């Protein structure tokens, strides 16, 4: 199960397995056509803890994998014998959760004799945009490209803005199978993580993203000016002499600023304006994410950008990013929301791209890598 793919199918039937966090995902694609995307989430089991507990997530993957696999095969109308190859998220993610998915994929590969591809979770978020008819417009209606990235081919100057509970990154994609460059990332909390922490401060529960997004519509985003991390000249520099964090983000200071704000209202015996704080916090997050992402795209000649990750569901992020991309002459592409969050279809989609590019399978000797760099698209054999 290593070396060059022996008989490269033109439209390979690929089974994708995702278990990097709290979603157990199994997806099946044929080339660039999505057949099924089955996801079992353990989110409800984490609510009372206010965040994902790795041990609980790992046990949930163990319980959910076989039923999810069976449902996915049934929905696609195929059997394991029909599958040409298996792809699995090898990293980044929670170590224990990754181990469950990787061990399951290895067992299937050994049992069936199918080639196995160990792929990068983050790059898979981009690969999902290649699925036929599954990339759609989002955000402001006039601010986002009406069509997706296109089946089987990527624009020549493509970037990706990935915003989730664990990652906030801007990428340049020269080749989805072997040339991905990290332009900027968060140096502390990811955006989704900051949403969860601020929601806890405001008493909104978990997950924080949807709760804050909903409440923010009732608040005034200009009522409070929260800091935009890493936007000072010493971090930004200039186009000629770029600063050390020109395209990077920081959200830990913003989280602290919200906490201090709430404390000040309480110390004065005043009612905390939760909706206004939620709106102002959200505006600070989406303002700095969209402005730095568009800046990175402009300065690197990126003309198309895909917005992915769970926080891509945020209405204000989609709206403001769309507006700023339009102003800069950049086309924004947003996959359907069920493909923005973690899922097996995106893993299968990237696996299919690797097969069609003639990339060798990974074999079964690899180990999951919880900190896999985005520049590693797949694990070599």
DSSP 109-162: HHHH---EEEEEHHHHHHHGGGSTT--B--SSTTTS-SS-S-TT---SSEEEEE
Query: On the CB side of 223, how many CA atoms lie within 13 Å of its CA?
Result: 18
Q: H or E element: which one contains 318?
A: helix 315-327
Q: CB under 8 Å to 333, separation ≥6 — which residues?
A: 129, 135, 144, 145, 148, 149, 304, 305, 306, 307
Cβ atoms 305, 293 nearer than 8 A: yes
b/e map 361-372, b = 16+ CB within 10 Å: bbbbebebbeeb
Q: How far is 251 from 163, CA to CA, in rounded Å?
A: 13
H and E: helices and strands count for the chain: 12, 10
CA distance readout (Å), 23 to 26, 39, 78, 241: 10, 6, 23, 42
Query: On the CB side of 208, how many CA atoms lie within 13 Å of its CA?
Result: 25
Separation of CA 194 from chain center: 15
CB atoms within 10 A of CB 59: 16
Query: Which tokens belong to 170?
Result: 């801007």
Q: What angle do CA 217, 213, 277 make, to 5 degrees?
A: 70
289: left (phi over 0), alpha (psi -120 to 50) or beta: alpha
Angle between helices 315-327 and 274-299 (to 10 degrees): 30
Exposed/middle/buried for residue 185 (C-beta within 10 Å: 0-12, 13-18, 19+): middle
Q: How far is 338 from 340, CA to CA, in rounded Å?
A: 6
CB atoms within 10 A of CB 373: 12
Handedness of CA 175, 176, 177, 179 (dihedral sign): positive
Tens place of pLDDT per residue across the chain (381 aa): 444 455 567 899 999 999 999 999 999 999 999 999 999 998 788 888 888 898 999 999 999 999 999 999 999 999 999 999 999 999 999 999 999 999 999 999 999 999 999 999 999 999 998 887 544 333 333 333 433 565 556 788 999 999 998 899 999 999 999 999 999 999 999 999 999 999 999 999 899 999 999 999 999 999 999 999 999 999 999 999 999 999 999 999 999 999 999 999 999 999 999 999 999 999 999 999 999 999 999 999 999 999 998 899 999 999 999 999 999 999 999 989 889 889 999 999 999 999 999 999 999 999 999 999 999 999 998
Cβ atoms 213, 315 nearer than 8 A: yes
Give pLDDT, residue 7: 59
């Amino acid at each position: 199960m290593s070396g060059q793919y022996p008989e490269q199918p033109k439209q390979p039937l690929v089974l994708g397995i995702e278990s990097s966090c709290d979603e157990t995902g199994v997806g099946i694609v044929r080339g660039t056509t999505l057949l099924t995307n089955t996801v079992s989430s353990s989110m409800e089991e984490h609510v009372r803890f206010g965040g994902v507990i790795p041990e609980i997530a790992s046990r949930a993957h163990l319980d959910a994998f076989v039923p999810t696999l069976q449902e996915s095969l049934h929905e696609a109308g195929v059997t394991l014998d029909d599958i040409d190859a298996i792809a699995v998220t090898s990293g980044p993610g929670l170590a224990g959760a990754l181990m469950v998915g990787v061990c399951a994929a290895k067992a299937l590969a050994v049992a069936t004799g199918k080639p196995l591809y160990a792929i990068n979770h983050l790059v898979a978020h981009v690969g999902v945009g290649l699925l036929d008819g599954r990339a759609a417009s989002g955000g402001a209606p006039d601010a986002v490209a009406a069509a997706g990235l296109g089946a089987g081919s990527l624009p020549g100057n493509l970037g990706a803005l990935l915003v989730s509970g664990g990652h906030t990154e801007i990428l340049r994609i020269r080749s989805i199978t072997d040339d991905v460059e990290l332009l900027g990332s968060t140096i502390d909390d990811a955006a989704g993580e900051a949403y969860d922490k601020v929601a806890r401060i405001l008493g909104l529960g978990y997950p924080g993203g949807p709760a804050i997004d909903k409440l923010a519509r009732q608040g005034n985003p200009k009522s409070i000016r929260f800091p935009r991390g890493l936007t000072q000249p010493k971090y930004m520099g200039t186009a000629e002499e770029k600063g050390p964090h020109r395209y990077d983000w920081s959200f830990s200071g913003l989280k602290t600023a919200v906490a201090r704000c709430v404390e000040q209202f309480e110390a004065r015996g005043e009612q905390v304006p939760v909706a206004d704080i939620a709106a102002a916090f959200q505006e600070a997050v989406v303002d700095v994410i969209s402005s730095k992402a568009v800046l990175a795209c402009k300065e690197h000649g990126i003309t198309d950008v895909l917005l992915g990750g769970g926080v891509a569901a945020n209405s204000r992020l989609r709206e403001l990013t769309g507006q700023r991309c339009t102003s800069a002459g950049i086309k924004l592409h947003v996959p359907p929301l069920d493909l923005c969050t973690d899922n097996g279809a995106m893993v299968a989609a990237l696996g299919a791209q690797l097969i069609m590019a003639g990339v060798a399978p990974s074999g079964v000797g690899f180990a999951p890598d919880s900190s896999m760099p985005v520049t590693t698209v797949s694990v070599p054999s």
